[in-house]
Amino acid sequence: MNPARSFGRRMRRGLGAATALTALITAVGAGAAASSSAAPSSPPADVVTVQAADGDGLRDHAAALVAEMSTAEQASSIVMGHIGGSDPAALRAYMQSGLGGFILMGGNIPESESELRALTAALTIDPALPR
């Protein structure tokens, strides 16, 4: 058998396979693009949507709040505290001491989502903050 002819056949078969593979990849990619370009559905009712705040308004509001604070209040407002347990009343009392925030760790996480929502609601001392 002629080596040049054999090489030519292998090249044609290889090119045919490469063309078929390219067509398959293109078809799959086009299908994925078509499905991802479909109009997004509205989020479920229990999803929280976050919107960017007005930068200047937020900055002015924060400056006014800080101007009203004593030095001790300003210092405690930047402290992130932590205590163990998942009792909403105990954690709320801890937050009412004036700390700036609370870090939920493993020992603070209750069994159910509804209990976690109640716990995080109890940690919110001023619902207007952050605004």
Range from 7-11, 60-64, 115-119, 124-128 carrying the lowest mean pLDDT = 7-11
What is the per-residue pLDDT across 44-81, written as a single tens digit (0 to 9) for each? 777 877 777 777 888 888 899 899 999 988 898 888 88
At residue 131, the pLDDT reads 45
Q: Place 39 in a pLDDT band, splitting at 50, 70 and 90.
A: low
φ, ψ for residue 81 (rounded to 5)?
Answer: -100, 170
Angle formed at CA 65 by CA 128 and CA 103, multiple of 5 degrees: 60
